[in-house]
């Protein structure tokens, strides 16, 4: 991978955090629309989690020794993301946060040591922890009192 590709990947990763941050903090400004904003947060989170799980497939399948366990884990994480879309908001946020952290830990053991570029683990950890922090903020927003007219 060229340095230019690395910079692009980093920028795209950080740009991908913008919806997490905006949607997690959106109820502070548009408190009348908290439910809709948090629903959008959950959909975006599930979409990104599914994308991240899919990258494990791409990396593992392109490697000389495919790992069926990694493929199954990635598929399981994607299924968890999709299931979260039909769950109540609190449960969905917990499952999505846990799945992001689980996938990061899986990649630390199965992908980073042999397949990842040197710069990628640090980027991946920053992105994941920021996304999880946004999930915590979104979770706290569920207890935000409704606006008084």
Averaged confidence pLDDT in the chain: 89
Could you tell me which residue, 64 or 31, shows the higher pLDDT? 31
Q: How confident is the model at residue 149 (pLDDT cuts 50, 70, 90)?
A: very low
Nearest to 143 by CA among 78, 93, 76, 73: 93
Residue 10 has pLDDT above 60, yes or no: yes
- Reported as half-sphere exposure (CB side, CA atoms, 13 A), residue 55 has a value of 17
Residue 4 CA: distances (Å) to CA of 7, 8, 9, 10, 59: 5, 6, 9, 10, 20
pLDDT on residue 59: 73
Residue 16 has pLDDT above 70, yes or no: yes
Record the pTM.
Answer: 0.90
For residues 98 and 75, what is the distance between their CA atoms, to the nearest angstrom? 15
Q: How many CB atoms lie within 10 A of CB 149?
A: 4
- Predicted pLDDT of residue 148: 43
pLDDT at residue number 81: 97
- Residue 64 has what pLDDT? 63
**Is 80 in contact with 95 (CB distance < 8 Å)?**
yes
């Amino acid at each position: 991978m060229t340095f230019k590709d690395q910079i692009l990947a980093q920028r795209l990763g950080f740009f991908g955090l913008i919806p997490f941050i905006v949607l997690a903090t959106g109820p502070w400004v548009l408190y009348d629309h908290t439910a809709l904003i948090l629903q959008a947060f959950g959909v975006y989170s599930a979409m990104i989690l599914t994308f991240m799980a899919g990258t494990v497939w791409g990396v593992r399948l392109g490697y000389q020794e495919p790992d069926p366990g990694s493929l199954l884990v990635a598929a399981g994480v994607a299924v968890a993301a999709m299931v979260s879309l039909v769950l109540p908001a609190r449960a969905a946020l917990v499952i999505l946060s846990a799945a992001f952290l689980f996938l990061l830990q899986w990649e630390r053991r199965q992908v980073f040591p042999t397949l990842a570029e040197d710069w990628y683990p640090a980027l991946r950890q920053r992105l994941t922890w920021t996304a999880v922090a946004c999930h915590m903020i979104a979770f706290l927003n569920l207890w935000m009192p409704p606006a008084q007219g």
